[in-house]
Amino acid sequence: MPFDGREIRFGLLCGAGADGRWRGWFRIEVGADALRRIGLHPDQPTARVRGGSPPRWWHAAGERYAALRSPRP
Does 1 map to a domain?
no
User: For residue 21, what are the domain limits?
Assistant: 8-67
Q: What is the number of domains present in the chain?
A: 1
Does 3 map to a domain?
no
The CA–CA distances, whole Å, from 9 to 6, 12, 44, 58, 64 equal 8, 10, 23, 32, 33
Would you say how long the chain is, in residues?
A: 73
Does 73 map to a domain?
no
Nearest to 7 by CA among 25, 21, 28, 24: 28
C-alpha to C-alpha distance for 5 and 8, rounded to whole angstroms:
6
Q: Mean pLDDT by 10-residue block, N- to C-terminus, for the chain (73 residues)? A: 83 90 89 83 68 85 84 64
Does 47 map to a domain?
yes
Residue 56 near residue 30 (C-beta atoms within 8 A): no
Does 58 map to a domain?
yes
